[in-house]
Structure 1
């Protein structure tokens, strides 16, 4: 029996699979915004390098969908071999051209005994064991050792084995990294956060007194030869590969260390075919609450990276490790440029709060703008985080966040404090009435689809707990929640609709719904009608439910305003926000130009404290006066007050491919055949004097002709000699001739 080809794609199944799951993605996500998709090459081999890997199953699905819509390209996605063992997922992934990859983390096992570093200062690659058996089958050269995860903010450290020297001694290819790993293996705390020993600590060679070692896990060496061969074959025929180089999904706020596989695939492809013109495209998967229903996402494509043939030659020779390191660092830097990097969850919350405070007018920013602003703020925080002003402001902003949480309001709802009592009262009853009307449309769909919501919630929570227990890098395992919600909906939703169809069809055939429906309707027509109506009701309930949830969230602050005991708290928090907003803006305006040379010319948000409009004597801002122009007459609607056409030129990003100028059909070039020429050939004082004489002469001649009543004075010429009047000479000097036009 012939062995099945790895990475074989059935294009029809691929498109059908993508169409079905795109419907689920559109239902789960409120908005998916591609940014920079015009950078994706339309032809030639491409490796899509995606990070962070925030959703097990959703990330590759969104990547495939966005790239298919933008460039008509299909992608062979690398998928964990563990996932291929699931019947449905494995079958569908195989037909869509997915390439299974064995991961060491999926094969880890708890090992017997404990580890420690006998000489961490002089020889950190030497490992000793207590009660271990390194010569057993579980240990082999090229395998990996894993230390326990200490806390949710740090992933478990790992290192590759280079040599087995005995049952209780081995040598690593490279030492464990980081201060936490060094503490785990030595029991000492005289080192820095990155694992370097402080002054005076070098004198002590061994571990701490009484230290017994640490528990560990071991994973075998993975043979990826077949995977690399399949990837090279796809790329050599001009296909595209999608890979998540972090090695697995996670819910951290920063990138995990990249695996070397991406570099080996790229360098191996170019080594075998130097003229293949391989491109590596970094893709940032930027989510806003990725695990929540009706969340948002921005998929950002970076500038394609070339793989130099010289580097591939070095990869084939003695510089293999150096070549791999160069590619990995290049890819990492490219991913940093398209993702939002925060060291931990607290800093991420700080950055998002500062972004809102930096937008005091509450202008609704497009998602790509939000991502870009978050990225710049993260870069600024990373550079100035030890500045006393940043430290002080950080504490105040986090305290403001905690106060909002205590009051159970959101930042944008602080402005409710400006409302008068009667306006708040009217708004409360208006929104409550609107909510009651929306409930009429939401409740039927909620009843129909409730089983899907409940089962998806329960199963996803269960799976996330299992994933968290088996992982060394996850914080709360939120990365698997969205995946399982979609998979459960894919199975339970059709069963739910089938259940209701059977129930209502039986009720009709039994007693015509207790006599309320006339008899004689064909059962086939009734079943078909239900198959159409039920999904429609569900979708309508979904859309109306979104609006209803927004209204429910707004009722709490309105009630607080109406209560005399809490309205004063709103006034205080609003003043607090105004003060913080002004301080944040001032500090960004001071430090921004140091970070970005084009800070002022490429501002994302105009400074409200230095670009505010002029005010009338009564104190109100003057309305902007727009000049009458063909553009204004053609588009009479004005831009919002905080927008301008000038702002559009300050944005350095595009959501779609920028349009290329169309070639002119004229033989003489652009502008419909006109050749632009200088209005005059004046090049000195003498020329100016000559023109002045001609102008004065023309004016005198014009006066004489008018006084004498002569006709045809304006332009007379002798066709034979080509002589012209002073006026025509003046026209020649300043404008293009009629013949040239």
Structure 2
């Protein structure tokens, strides 16, 4: 764990060099136990970005094969990661997860921040996949073993183009998941584990973008940008992600329920999007005052940026 104290600083620097990183929403507590639960769209980059948002050392759960890989083994050990033994990797090692849970309980009881990606593996799907129960079991187990009710904080990761240098990356830190009513029920209570997993999922959906298909993203963003230009100019980044999520769900409802306005709405929004793109305008400029300063800003943006 020799690298753990410096890793959050290194992670913050690395994330901000590679991405245009924005951190929004709540603030991760600077001390005391906390369980950070995040979506997992970008493989080994995700712990780096979560650490940058946490601004404190975080012990991550990582799949066991990373510890035996000569390229990653030294790093995951140096930052204090805890190995998770998955059936898909080697079913004969699953019994070692008893030690994994014990190590996590102890770390949290001692006031550490622990990070977990409850989807279980990184992916490139347009929305979150079904969550595993590990995060819920960790929270319930820590309370049962040490009497500590750990704050569970959802962390949403939204990348514009995750493989592109200097592309936009947004981290949204959500409000703690409410689970005081489940704390005393224990890890053996399957209903408590299920309910807490559902609440964690709901918390994550509040801070992530979940599309039916990737092709919907430009449409959803255009619709939200139009809405912002008219009514939502005061939205911060976290509120904008929530607005994108609401718009995505409305889009899904319109697809399920035939509506004669649907085709016309999509056609108009896409036409609007293409016209703005040709002019290199964003919807927020449409309500701008026609004065010299605004004209100069638009000209510089249009021809020089």
Q: Is the shorter-chain TM-score for this pair beyond 0.5, marking a shared fold?
A: yes
Alpha-carbon shift at residue 278 of structure 1 (Å): 1.2
Matched, 1:283 2:152: no
Task: State the SS of the aligned residue for 1:231.
Answer: helix
**Equivalent in 23, 29, 35 of residue 47 of structure 1:** 35
Kindly report which structure 2 residues correspond to 1:265-344, keeping only aligned pairs within 5 A, or say none: 265-274=138-147, 276-308=148-180, 311-315=182-186, 320-344=189-213
**C-alpha separation between the residues in 1 aligned to 2:135 and 2:158?**
21
**Equivalent in 4, 10, 29 of residue 14 of structure 1:** 4
Distance change (3 Å), C-alpha of 1:284 and 1:316:
closer
Contact 1:267 1:307 in 2 (8 A): no
Contact 1:253 1:348 in 2 (8 A): no
**Equivalent in 31, 44, 61 of residue 48 of structure 2:** 61
**C-alpha separation between the residues in 1 aligned to 2:33 and 2:197?**
19
Which of the pair has the greater relative contact order for Cα pairs under 8 Å at 6+ separation?
A: 2
Counterpart of 1:379 in structure 2 is 249
Contact 2:15 2:21 in 1 (8 A): no
Contact 1:281 1:305 in 2 (8 A): yes
Distance change (3 Å), C-alpha of 1:390 and 1:322:
farther
Distance change (3 Å), C-alpha of 1:26 and 1:311:
closer
Distance change (3 Å), C-alpha of 1:411 and 1:357:
farther
Counterpart of 1:103 in structure 2 is 86
Task: State the SS of the aligned residue for 1:106.
Answer: coil
**Equivalent in 235, 239, 244 of residue 108 of structure 2:** 235
Rg comparison, structure with higher value: 1
**C-alpha separation between the residues in 2 aligned to 1:89 and 1:234?**
22
Contact 2:59 2:81 in 1 (8 A): yes
Counterpart of 1:264 in structure 2 is 137
Task: State the SS of the aligned residue for 1:376.
Answer: helix
Contact 2:12 2:53 in 1 (8 A): no
Mind listing any 5+ residue stretches in structure 1 that lack a counterpart? 1-8, 108-218, 405-409, 417-553, 555-580, 582-604, 614-620, 624-636, 639-741
Task: State the SS of the aligned residue for 2:164.
Answer: coil
Distance change (3 Å), C-alpha of 1:387 and 1:220:
farther
Distance change (3 Å), C-alpha of 1:350 and 1:105:
farther
**C-alpha separation between the residues in 2 aligned to 1:102 and 1:268?**
18
State the TM-score, normalized to the length of structure 1. 0.36
Total equivalences in the alignment: 289
**Equivalent in 218, 222, 234 of residue 94 of structure 2:** 222
Alpha-carbon shift at residue 288 of structure 1 (Å): 0.9
Alpha-carbon shift at residue 26 of structure 1 (Å): 2.6
Q: Deviations over 1:605-656 (max 9, x none)?
A: 79x7xxx79xxxxxxx787xxxxxxxxxxxxx99xxxxxxxxxxxxxxxxxx
Matched, 1:393 2:264: yes
Task: State the SS of the aligned residue for 1:247.
Answer: coil
Q: Deviations over 1:451-501 (max 9, x none)?
A: xxxxxxxxxxxxxxxxxxxxxxxxxxxxxxxxxxxxxxxxxxxxxxxxxxx
Q: Deviations over 1:255-303 (max 9, x none)?
A: 11100111111111111223x2311001111111112121111111111
Alpha-carbon shift at residue 369 of structure 1 (Å): 5.9
**C-alpha separation between the residues in 2 aligned to 1:79 and 1:296?**
26
Task: State the SS of the aligned residue for 2:89.
Answer: helix
State the TM-score, normalized to the length of structure 2. 0.81
Counterpart of 1:353 in structure 2 is 222
**Equivalent in 31, 36, 59 of residue 25 of structure 2:** 36
